[in-house]
Chain A
Amino acid sequence: MQHISNVWPWYVAGPLIGLFVPALLLTGNKLLGISSNLRHVCSAGLPGRVDFFRYDWRRTGGWNLAFASGILVGGAVAGHFLGAGSHISPAAEQSLRALGIRDFTGLVPRELFHWGALATWQGVVMIVGGGFFVGFGTAYAGGCTSGHAISGLADLQLPSLIAVIGFFAGGLIATWLLIPRLLGG
């Protein structure tokens, strides 16, 4: 049980994640890619007159919405029965302490991600703005970490390589320029 409750090392988790690509193809010719679900939910809930959302989301996205629902339940199972936390390197903890973060016990820093934070402009930028960028950017780029970085790069697709370089460029800008300013460090 000890192995299950500890953090799973990269050489276990990475190959397991990679196996989902052939597993989904063999199960029903589906390509791993989670951000499409944001589009499917829009299509199901509020398609409006937007062409991008006018398609048969049940047929195209039913399997993927089931997959995403599974992820949600998987997060619950792991979080409640197997233990979930963050065990970052001492160097990373030191850097984040320098930005004023003190609570390292959860999956996200409670000082930054709580309901009261929505009353501050920094919290709105981080929670609402960050979420908006995730939804807008993945739809624009046509994929996220799973669809482009894993499925796309594994299939040696040039568009995915360009997208992944963009992902990291954006992440570095957020980490090194935006977050230190948002936290007033």
Chain B
Amino acid sequence: MRQSTNDERQPRSPLVPYFGLGLLFGVVLTKAEVISWFRIQEMFRFQSFHMFGIIGSAILVAAIGLQVIKRRGLCAIDGTPITVPPKSIGSGTRYWLGGIIFGLGWGLVGACPGPLFALLGSGVWIFAVVLASALAGTWTYGALRPRLPH
């Protein structure tokens, strides 16, 4: 890894902690069956509370964590103050239209981006094609971006 120097605007952070956190995240996603196509179908068919419970309690715990950080003005380990930049709403089109398009894909392949990586890791190799297609989709969005309503 390249050594960061003092004159850089923002020092490069070491990557190992993020890899470690990602590994734990992947284990949780897999063990809770969040990466299962069947579980996503079960959710969209309202035939179990499992996925709703996971997403709902994750939001609740994340919200409590955020509030604690904000109210206490906590800093990150590297000493920088923690900030969560607000998203600009624009016309709102990108959120509902982009959201629906992603939702169609989520329903069909039964995986959102995190689970895509976990499924590949767990040996469902056909998801290499899903990931490649997702990259093509992101690239196409990038190319069309100036012409799309946001």
Contact = CB atoms under 8 A, between A and B. Distances in A.
A34 B114 contact: yes
Nearest to B22: A70
A114 to B, nearest CB: 6
A167 B103 contact: yes
Nearest to A47: B142
Contacts of A30: 18
B interface majority secondary structure = helix
Interface residues of A, number: 134
Contact of A134 (B24, B63, B69, B112): B112
A34 B25 CA distance: 11
B145 A29 contact: no
Contacts of A51: 142, 145-146
B17 to A, nearest CB: 5
Interface string B64-91: 1110110000101110111110111100
B60 to A, nearest CB: 7
A113 B55 contact: no
A131 B19 CA distance: 24
Contacts of B27: 74-75, 77-78, 82
B117 to A, nearest CB: 4
Interface string B25-67: 1111111111111111111110111111111111111111110
A27 interface: yes
Contacts of B30: 74-75, 78-79, 82, 84
Interface of B: 10, 12-13, 15-45, 47-66, 68-69, 74, 76-78, 80-84, 86-89, 92, 94-114, 116-124, 126-127, 129-143, 145-146, 148
Interface of A: 4, 7-32, 34-35, 37-39, 41-42, 46, 48, 50-53, 58-59, 62-64, 66-80, 82, 84-89, 91-93, 95-96, 104, 106-109, 112-115, 117-118, 125-142, 144-146, 148-160, 162-176, 178-179
Given A92-B42, A136-B137, A144-B112, 11 more contacts: A23-B21, A72-B117, A75-B119, A113-B124, A134-B112, A135-B141, A138-B112, A145-B55, A160-B87, A165-B96, A168-B44
29 contacts: A10-B32, A10-B49, A10-B57, A15-B61, A24-B18, A25-B76, A27-B21, A28-B78, A35-B138, A63-B18, A73-B121, A74-B27, A75-B118, A78-B27, A89-B42, A92-B41, A129-B133, A132-B137, A133-B102, A133-B105, A136-B105, A136-B141, A139-B138, A142-B95, A144-B102, A145-B55, A145-B112, A163-B95, A169-B100
